[in-house]
Amino acid sequence: MVIRAVKLVLLLVASFVVWFLYRMGHPKVGEPRFIYKFRRHPSAIPEYLSYLARGLFHPHLLRAGSTKRERADSFPGDDLIARPQWQETRAKTIDVPADHLWPWIVQMGGGRAGWY
């Protein structure tokens, strides 16, 4: 009985920590003042912790839209880091010919039309 109670308390504490870190990464208009101050601390550690929590508890976002084959494929730049600790592959299927899509792709980026 004691072990179940301890597990329940740990689950509740972990849930609160996840909620708190998620909240730090996604502020609302009426967010509590202490979260506002904590998020804007010069060290930005809270922001990084919220991103870490988001990646740990929502791993499907690291592979959104991609197939198993796409996640297994090698892409340009993969050889820059020999053994990465984690990998993120996102994909979106667009059903148009490449010559129609290419003009939209080349206009994206810094110094061009911007990041979309």
Do residues 51 and 86 touch, judged by C-beta distance below 8 A?
no
Element (DSSP H or E) covering residue 56 = helix 45-57
pLDDT in tens, 11-46: 888 888 777 766 666 666 666 676 666 666 666 676
Q: Tell me which DSSP letter residue 82 carries.
A: S
Distance CA 88, CA 83 (A): 14
Q: Which domain holds residue 10?
A: 1-65
On whether residue 87 sits in a domain, the answer given is no
Structurally, the chain folds into a number of domains equal to 1
On whether residue 88 sits in a domain, the answer given is no
- CB atoms under 10 Å from CB of 14, counted, come to 11
pLDDT at 112: 72
On whether residue 72 sits in a domain, the answer given is no
On whether residue 44 sits in a domain, the answer given is yes
On whether residue 20 sits in a domain, the answer given is yes
On whether residue 92 sits in a domain, the answer given is no
**Hey, what are 56's tokens?**
């740990």
pLDDT > 90: percent of the chain: 3
pTM: 0.41
